[in-house]
Structure 1
Amino acid sequence: MHAFLAAAARHGRLVLVLGLAAGIALPDLALAMRPWIAGMIASLLFLAALRVGHRQAVGALGDLGASVGLATVLQVVLPISAILLFAVLGLSGAALATFFVLMLAAAPVTGSPNLAIMTGNDPAPALRQIVVGTALLPLTVLPVFWLSPAFGEARAVLTAAGGLMALIVAATGSAFLLRAYWLRNPSERTIQSIDGLSAIAMAVVVIGLMSAVGPAIRQTPLTFAGVLALVCAVNFLLQVIAATLARRAGFASRAAAIGIVAGNRNVALFLTVLPQETIDPILLFIGCYQIPMYLTPAILGRFYRRQ
């Protein structure tokens, strides 16, 4: 078993690509897996917390303060700026505007620590940003939803954010307890096995988010190509700009994690709380958005190794 997991860890980028391919090629399986996404995300977060450990994840109080400030910029300043920009362009009601505002308002995706590991960087700052960003989500979504009432009632999002926070506390708390009392000094072999499990878990999770992509490729290939190009450009630009600014501001050790959490957000959270008429037009955007997210280690791996 260890040999298999070690191989998955060594070839984590390929494992992610295989998960994307399965999600595209097997839309029926993707639909069937959607109800299980929350549980799979919890497992992924558990593995990330187990790998990092509570001491490294919590960090200094100064780090937590920086995480709060970063969450404010990423989850409030950026989406409000996008709302104003789309209003000026007359695109407030467009599907692309709805998606990008929601994406920018979301907390970092729970797979961020695993992406940091696959790019050769410390996963702890990314894990800390997930916890802080999700904890603040009930507050940060309020101005965004106030400026965009078409998204529905903020109360539903607050409820969903609370549920997600409970899931994060349960997953990370149990992992930290396990690490503190039974796995205090894991061997390199154990860490490698955890990394392999994490890569496989990420590949499985993405299948459930790709249900709209396969049909779009076959039925409306030009629309698919346009949406994919747009979300890739925004995702990668956000990552590169955020990481570069972080490095120039003196946060070189956290630059990679900051870039990863800036571009990769948990927009899937909003699937269960928004009106169906709002969700349907953006399903293709959400599915395509998984592609640059999961290709981050392959496309930006060299860039992040230079950070």
Structure 2
Amino acid sequence: MPLLLFAANHARWCLILGLLAGLTLPGLAATIKPWLPMLIAGLLFLSALRIGPKAAFGNLTDIRRTLSILVVYQVALPLVFLAIFLALGVASTVAALALVLLMAGPSVTGSPNFTALMGFDPAPPMRLLILGTAAFPITVIPVFLLTPGLGDPGIVIQAAIRLIVVILIAAGVGFAVRLFWQPNVQHIKAIDGASALTLGVVVIGLMFAVAPTLTAEPITVMKWLALACVVNFGLQFLAYKALKSPGEAIVAGNRNIALYLVALPVSLTDPLLIFIGCYQIPMYLTPMLMARIFGNSPSSW
């Protein structure tokens, strides 16, 4: 418990140290990478345990709002970006493909954890995570049919189904525990500490492709990182101005683009690896850089 409370009080350092380790210790990143699915499932469990089923699903009004935002995030945005890229004649470029796939993706599994660590309500991003991932096999179809070179969406749909099964199991166990156990303030803080530690380990594994390229082609990495930061923070800022909800804004910029790594052919995903790795940097800096914009600056940050 003392370690978890310490981690909760110094959550930003857990994330920063994780990023630094991912960039400087490629051997450690390669070791952690095979364990990422289990670690991500652990994050989902911690989020569900912290929130509880009642707060997670809310009332009918909450669900309607979530579904409306989901349609904008996962259908309208990628199709608007795709239309712009097609009009400009750049839809087949790696950058355009990366952005369209990013926009079409559901929330990253860590969005409720990020929101909680910033001191905001993690229930809205949890709803977007669960419903967005469940709807992904349907919402991704028009994007795949209209995007040049992606082919049959069936493989991605299968991967999305596997992902929602993992989410439902991990979150279901967390919700089930909450039926028999009501955490106090100290327990909630300990859960936040466990989330911070787990997020710090997860980012090491997600950075496995960045470190070697940073050494060989630093300019290339810097360009991809600049694009990732503009898109991630820009979407969060615009979503917050429109929705006034930090958790929903966090989801706008932090999407599960890594989902495509287990679904698309290597010929398509290999060029995306650097962007996916670079995207982890603004993602994990979100709790530090966006807290003030969202109007909250918890003491631990």
TM-score (norm 2): 0.96
Is 1:63 the counterpart of 2:62? The answer is: yes
How far apart are 1:94 and its partner, in Å? 1.2
Structure 2 unaligned runs (5+)? none
Following TM superposition, the consecutive aligned residue runs of length 4 or more in structure 1 with deviations greater than 4 angstroms are none
The aligned counterpart of 1:277 is: 267
The aligned counterpart of 1:98 is: 97
Contact 1:113 1:123 in 2 (8 A): yes
Contact 2:105 2:256 in 1 (8 A): yes
The aligned counterpart of 2:205 is: 208
The aligned counterpart of 1:252 is: none
The aligned counterpart of 2:114 is: 115
How far apart are 1:149 and its partner, in Å? 4.8
The aligned counterpart of 2:291 is: 301
The aligned counterpart of 2:278 is: 288
Is 1:42 the counterpart of 2:41? The answer is: yes
How far apart are 1:33 and its partner, in Å? 2.5
**Counterpart amino acid of 1:179?**
R
Is 1:174 the counterpart of 2:180? The answer is: no
Give matches, 1:239-254, under 5 Å.
239-247=236-244
Structure 1 unaligned runs (5+)? 248-254
How many percent of aligned residue pairs carry the same amino acid?
45
C-alpha RMSD over aligned residues: 1.3
Q: Find the residue that maps to 2:206 and give its secondary structure.
A: coil
Contact 1:27 1:214 in 2 (8 A): yes
Question: d(CA) in 1 for partners of 2:192 and 2:296?
Answer: 22
Contact 2:106 2:132 in 1 (8 A): yes
**Counterpart amino acid of 1:242?**
A
**Aligned with 2:217 (options 189, 195, 220):** 220
How far apart are 1:304 and its partner, in Å? 1.4
The number of residue pairs the alignment matches comes to 297
Question: d(CA) in 1 for partners of 2:195 and 2:295?
Answer: 20
Q: Find the residue that maps to 2:238 and give its secondary structure.
A: helix
Contact 2:92 2:148 in 1 (8 A): no
**Counterpart amino acid of 1:256?**
P
The aligned counterpart of 1:192 is: 189
Question: d(CA) in 1 for partners of 2:296 and 2:18?
Answer: 27
The aligned counterpart of 2:3 is: 4
**Counterpart amino acid of 1:124?**
A
- For residues 45-69 of structure 1, what are the alpha-carbon distances to aligned partners after superposition, in whole Å with 9 as ceiling and x for unaligned? 0000000011110100111111111
The aligned counterpart of 1:160 is: 159
Contact 2:118 2:296 in 1 (8 A): no
